[in-house]
Amino acid sequence: MGKRLLIVDDEPLILHGLTRTLQTQFEVVSAQSGPEGLDRFSQEGPFPVVISEMRMPGMSGTDFLGHVRKLAPDTVRILLSGNLDLEAMLSAVNEGTVFRVLVKPAAPELLTSILQDAFDHYRLAMQDRVLLQSKLEEVRNQTYHLERLATMGTLAAGVGHELNNLAQVFQSTLQLIKGDVEADQPPRADHLRRLERVGDHLAHHATALLRLARKPSEGPIEVDLALVVAETLEMLKETGMFKRINLNVCLPQTPVRIRVPRRELEQVLLNLLRNASDAFYGIPDCAAHILVSVEPDWKTRRMRLTVKDSGCGIPPDQLEVIFQPYFTTKPPDRGTGLGLPVVKQIVEENHGCIRVESQAGHGSTFCIEWPLLEA
């Protein structure tokens, strides 16, 4: 951004003198009132450093710097005053959080030195902000990874059950084929087809788990939401998640294209569906229903993804905190308290919104909206 400086003073001669003095070392932009200064700041800013006269008609320097603080909190603010009014200066420091207060006329050497300190202060503040953002991104990625591992652990338990069943089918079929071979008979075709189906199921489980283990793709990509939902549900069916649940799916026949990374979209679906399936403890199988639907609205260019269950529901006092990290009502071995916060973060980072409606004892409905892309 360079050493760009905005000076605001209602006295033209002083403003001209300051500009001439400082423009040899700084890129100076000037304004003769608070409103004009805000216009210049909005149109040509942000500026690393802003200097303002304290007493100006219409909008005081204190008010002006307060507005600058709201627009760009990192901008370093310096106040000039020709009157040593202690109360006014304290107000400026408290309301405008100024970096320095200078009494006019300020010696050029002193003003230049303070401005150099101000630019150094701004540079260090921006470096700290970049470092903080980097750390926050690192924590966010770690949170995604932890939640993904927890999701994989839950799914792996279901897959392990299915693999045990497949192993029994494989062993029994293998014994039948061995019997045919010992009797000098070729293996029966239906036995071979059974082994082929076992192999297909094993490959499907391996692909699903490997896909979950991969890191999310970089950057947003375009996906067909309806297709991702269908494929994710098929994968979860193979894990046995819906064995005792009546699953209803309503998907459009035409593609529903949105700009969300597939890995993140899958993680949203996995968490919502896992929560829905966990809501049926103590509820008869005949009453366990989950509805998954995708509804595009081509007029508003929005789509709606809904996951609705007939489970235990969420008490009213918990609805406000379900998206807070580590809040969970599940036993320690079934929930981390990170699933719904991660869902909310993914949805909002991809320009969507999520809302939930629930009533204790009558199930929950999670609804997500994202912008639609051209078909």
* Inside any domain, residue 258: yes
pTM reported for the whole predicted model: 0.48
- pLDDT, averaged across the chain: 80
Whether the pLDDT of residue 155 is over 60: the answer is: no
Q: Are residues 236 and 359 in the same domain?
A: yes
Whether the pLDDT of residue 176 is over 90: the answer is: no
pLDDT of residue 74: 84
pLDDT one-digit tens code per residue, 91-107: 656 555 777 777 777 77
pLDDT one-digit tens code per residue, 188-221: 888 888 788 778 767 766 776 666 556 555 545 7
Task: Report the C-alpha gap between 20 and 337 in whole angstroms.
Answer: 60
The mean pLDDT value for 163-168 works out to: 67
**CA angle 336–340–341, rounded 5-degree value:** 90
pLDDT one-digit tens code per residue, 250-284: 999 899 999 998 878 887 888 898 888 888 876 77
**CA angle 205–177–170, rounded 5-degree value:** 20
pLDDT of residue 224: 92
* Inside any domain, residue 205: no
Whether the pLDDT of residue 227 is over 80: the answer is: yes
* Inside any domain, residue 130: no
Least-confidence region, from 210-214, 305-309, 310-314: 210-214
Q: Which of 263, 204, 201 is nearest to 228 (CA)?
A: 263
Q: What is the CATH number of the domain that holds 97?
A: 3.40.50.2300
Q: Which of 85, 25, 43, 26 is nearest to 61 (CA)?
A: 85
* Domains contained in the chain, number: 2
* Inside any domain, residue 250: yes
Better pLDDT: 23 or 281: 23
Last residue of a domain, one of 106, 130, 157: 106
* Inside any domain, residue 177: no
Q: What is the CATH number of the domain that holds 230?
A: 3.30.565.10
pLDDT of residue 374: 73
pLDDT of residue 364: 92
Task: Report the C-alpha gap between 344 and 302 in whole angstroms.
Answer: 18
Task: Report the C-alpha gap between 18 and 112 in whole angstroms.
Answer: 11
Which pair of structure tokens corresponds to residue 34?
A: 């608070």
Better pLDDT: 91 or 109: 109
Last residue of a domain, one of 58, 79, 106: 106
Last residue of a domain, one of 58, 84, 106: 106
Q: Which helix (H) or strand (E) holds 307?
A: strand 302-309
Q: Which domain holds residue 88?
A: 4-106
pLDDT one-digit tens code per residue, 26-53: 888 888 888 998 998 888 878 888 988 8
* Inside any domain, residue 113: no
Q: Are residues 224 and 372 in the same domain?
A: yes
pLDDT of residue 303: 94
pLDDT of residue 83: 67
> pLDDT exceeding 70 applies to what percent of the chain?
79
